[in-house]
Amino acid sequence: MKYILLTGIALLALASPASAHVTLETGMASWGSYYKAVFRVPHGCDGSTTTGIAVDIPEGVISVKPMPKSGWKIDIVTGKYAKTYTSHGKPVSEGVKRVIWSGGSLPDDEFDEFVFLAKLPEDKEVMRLFFPVTQTCEKGTVIWNEIAAPGSDPHKLKNPAPTLDLMAEHDGMEHMDH
């Protein structure tokens, strides 16, 4: 009986709103690497079907290439970067600033993933990247853009932005070819 009760409590904890936000499948990567960003969308907006996902690209993330999704349209918003970066030996001063998947249908009781490939910053001063996500539904919108202040608990945020921690490549970390 204790086992069943504990299992039930564990399942309730997993279903809590704090764990039901848009997240990155892999939350760590190495500086300067190519990264497959997989955004998991676990539900709609208060029971409403998701019809659009927009991901804002943080400064320093370049060479963004979204993965097509059957039944969804992709729009790419480009713009100037705050500084010039190097991609394949050439200077790059503008590129993708936002990727938008729209026109699809993701019912509230299903989940899906939205993916792009990108080159991460080589700047070792950049320790963490935040990817604000706007989730549009048939009824309502949720903006996943909250960033925890240093020293505060990010699990207490209502709508946290998906986060990627950057570090040096080490044993066991896969190198992703592009």
For residue range 23-62, what is the model confidence (pLDDT) as tens digits? 999 999 999 999 999 999 999 999 999 999 999 999 999 9
Per-residue pLDDT band at 159 (split at 50, 70, 90): very high
Confidence of residue 13 (pLDDT cuts 50, 70, 90): very low
Asked if residue 72 lies in contact with residue 86, where contact means CB atoms within 8 angstroms, the answer is no
What pLDDT is recorded for position 65? 98
Comparison of pLDDT for 149 and 142, the residue scoring more: 142
* 10: three-class secondary structure by DSSP: helix
Q: pLDDT grade, residue 153 (50/70/90)?
A: confident
pLDDT band at 18 (very low <50, low <70, confident <90, very high): very low
Buried/exposed code over 107-116 (b: 16+ C-beta within 10 A; e: otherwise):
ebeeebebbb
Distance CA 92, CA 144 (A): 28
pLDDT of 170: 64
Asked if 130 and 163 count as a contact pair (C-beta separation under 8 A), the reply is yes
Residue 3 has pLDDT above 70, yes or no: no
Question: Which CATH architecture describes the domain 20-167?
Answer: Sandwich (2.60)
Q: 83 falls in which pLDDT band (50, 70, 90)?
A: very high
- Paired strand residues for 102: 52, 73
Report pLDDT for 96: 98
Q: Over the chain, what is the mean pLDDT?
A: 86
